[in-house]
Homo-oligomer: A and B are copies of this chain.
Amino acid sequence: MKAPVDFYFDFSSPYGYLAAQKIEPLAARHGRSVTWRPMLLGAAFKVSGAGPLPSVPLKGEYSKRDFLRSARFHGVPFRIPDVFPVSTLHACRAFYATGNVPLAKSLFKAYFVDNLNIGEADNVMKIAASLGLKPDLNDQAVKDKTRAEVDAAVARGVFGSPYIVVDGEPFWGMDRFDQLERWLREPF
């Protein structure tokens, strides 16, 4: 039995969203399942000193263009949300309260297709309710679990989104999916 692929991402990350549309079939082609591991890029930025892409001079302008072009290239519906980026703490907690992968997919779609601000707890709860879920975002155990997962991600070296780990080998970015696919076939 091969170990699952660890899929780290931030719900506010366009490249994380694009990767989320591709990671499962990619892993399945090589007999792997996917462990979804949302994290908070802000926690990684505190260590790496980086900041949200849109706020970086030169790179920010390029990035917006690249988000849109990359979505077209990969054939994935996408828009830059009106409120972007947002804190995804509530979204993260909702996920770790439930462990529900369809919820993760719905959160991504709500934000990057339907332009719903998933930074707001009310919207997160509405999306969860549409799947019959009712996570308690203020439960201390949920808060602790979320914090522990985010800390573990940063301790493992996750500094960007998406970030995939296969048997200890890290791949940053959807643009490493070509290398990831070859690695899943055979480490090189």
Contacts and interface: CB of A to CB of B under 8 A. Distances in A.
B47 A157 contact: no
Q: Label chain A's interface by main secondary structure.
A: helix
Interface string A119-155: 0000000000000000000000000000000000010
Given A157-B62, A172-B62, A179 B69 contact: yes
A159 B73 contact: no
Given A173-B175, A175-B175, A58 B44 contact: yes
Copies in the complex: 2
A175 B62 CA distance: 15
Interface stretch (A48-56, A83-91, A105-113): A48-56
Interface string A44-86: 1001111000001111011001100110110000000000000
A57 B62 contact: no
A4 interface: no
A185 interface: no
Given A70-B179, A175-B176, A56 B65 contact: no
B188 A157 contact: no
Ranked nearest first, the 5 interchain pairs of A and B with the lowest CB-CB distance are: A175-B175, A58-B159, A48-B58, A59-B159, A48-B57
Interface of A: 44, 47-50, 56-59, 61-62, 65-66, 69-70, 72-73, 154, 157-160, 170, 172-173, 175-176, 178-179, 182, 188
